[in-house]
Structure 1
């Protein structure tokens, strides 16, 4: 009987829909929730266990014994039918995680589906349907590694935060059209960390916040995506919501330590934290800086943008070096390892191979304007590419 049930389960997991994790899409799942009726990868099975057996009963497809009733439950449901039940009202703005996404995103997706059953009824999505949100988040101080409670408010056009709960005037008002939000738990060393980035005084400004509750931080993340989608649908009424979703928030393409030298032959290499955000390459003194030391727009390869290994003639070589050429100047950098250099060069080259969209030209103009105003400012260290 046990062998027969094992064979039945082995055949079920090969069927279309069942051959990938029901929650993150990872191929060839090795686990299942026998009461929900879905097949799961190892990572998602771990989160299912934390829901408790009253919500999800997890079993190994290969190591555990399956009885007739459990196998029949899997046969009666399966991933496709379960999605039709638990994901029927997933809003367009909701970011459905994929394998490798931040753990808090995956955990809260699973809890929202099966524990809170948020997507079985729109009545449970008030943080999305209200088009506004207000609450307290822990915000990192700009110049020190300390967090303080701050009041945040999302409206239909902006995100505001206040230095004190009873403050009448916000410390900052950030237009949602200029705001990017990404989950950054590893860099922030906070499981529920969120990084907000926007243009401020001629430079990109980064704000780091977190909340003790993973559910709360994901609600903030999705609420911002929801309001941005509503705004874009008004601005572009002829475009389908699904086509606008990629423009709501963007994870950084790649970030990490590189060394960079200046334009002079006498300039030394200095360690900087680089972030590639779509077509904007930023470098900072540290991973949690509020402002970058410089920002470089990455255009299209046919417009005099290129990247290559090594350094130009007359420039000092350093470790695993590479050169990024733009119409304005050549930037020389080096990576700590050969693999890291390959990763950075591939990521940047992928951007250079991509033709510019209308919004890319707007970004280029904004950075050029920022550079011009920064050069005329006393705070010249904000200028784009002006310093190491």
Structure 2
């Protein structure tokens, strides 16, 4: 290896130590072994492969294994990940989903194309497909069946961009709803509510409000303070919901079931005490019981936000 190549390798390693360059410019992975010498960004091996799908825009090299010219290294030094972020992410909508290294290839590739190929976050007019009012109206008009039918059609490779556009259009609609529901809330507080990530999900048994009905096996999801239950994990609509408040408002979770409780098949019970009634559940294993109780306790330990009192009141007045 020539002394010039040795020098360039040294300079590239030095550039990796600069702020922003140590994490992938596209997905945030802490593994920047590759770089786009036409865009001036350091990326992970996975995103480097996705850059290969837009050769008209990006050309990549291994930072350590490939040869670099002086001109290429100078360009990398003049740009870098932070500079690229400032250039290509000037107008990213708050609702737009920024994929991470753990997300699927589809989301990551379309994020890369949106940034560098379509320049969607530099020009607002190019955000029309997922943020236009007409698209939002369409979202509210289609039924669940139509939605899943549409998504199945979009699985064709030609429609990969449309699939991500729909995904972000749904987020745009949800974001608009949250802005109306929580006026004055900061965008940073609303964005985490756009994509549902359950605190806990799985099967439990439950009985009715009188505790005299037999226990039935149901699929439960814990979404912040909402415990929803379904007959089947793939059901579109919940059979019912339970609001989980905070300990300072007289919500508690207890192991076991009240004496004389009958009709359950699974032996590891949980009782949730609310100001109005008790909810009884049963788990198949002690591990399940422990995990569900930990999830409930985490929520109960957290003080309620002002808007959550309105949600609680809505639950109490449900028929």
Gaps of 5+ in 2: none
Verify the 8 A CA contact 1:324 1:330 in the aligned structure 2.
Answer: yes
1: CA distance, partners of 2:291 / 2:300: 14
TM-score in terms of structure 2 length:
0.78
Instruction: Say whether 1:330 aligns with 2:279.
Output: yes
1:85 is paired with a residue whose SS is helix
Gaps of 5+ in 1: 135-151, 164-170, 173-180, 182-187, 194-208, 373-388
1:283 is paired with a residue whose SS is strand
State the Cα distance separating 1:83 from its structure 2 match: 0.8
2: CA distance, partners of 1:348 / 1:111: 41
1: CA distance, partners of 2:317 / 2:274: 17
Equivalences for 1:200-211 in 2 at 5 Å?
Answer: 211=154
Q: Larger C-alpha radius of gyration, 1 or 2?
A: 2
2:236 is paired with a residue whose SS is coil
Instruction: Find the counterpart in structure 2 of residue 67 from structure 1.
Output: 68
Equivalences for 1:302-381 in 2 at 5 Å?
Answer: 302-307=248-253, 318=266, 322-327=270-275, 328-334=277-283, 338=287, 344-370=292-318, 372=319
Instruction: Say whether 1:217 aligns with 2:163.
Output: yes
2: CA distance, partners of 1:153 / 1:234: 19
RMSD: 3.8
TM-score in terms of structure 1 length:
0.65
2: CA distance, partners of 1:18 / 1:25: 10
More strand by share: 1
State the Cα distance separating 1:81 from its structure 2 match: 0.6
More helix by share: 2
Report how many aligned residue pairs link the two structures: 307
Instruction: Find the counterpart in structure 2 of residue 58 from structure 1.
Output: 60
Verify the 8 A CA contact 1:92 1:241 in the aligned structure 2.
Answer: no
Verify the 8 A CA contact 1:32 1:38 in the aligned structure 2.
Answer: yes
Instruction: Say whether 1:47 aligns with 2:28.
Output: no
Instruction: Find the counterpart in structure 2 of residue 153 from structure 1.
Output: 138
Equivalences for 1:238-257 in 2 at 5 Å?
Answer: 239=184, 242-243=187-188, 245-246=190-191, 249-254=194-199, 256-257=201-202
Given candidates 75, 82, 85, the residue that maps to 1:83 is 85
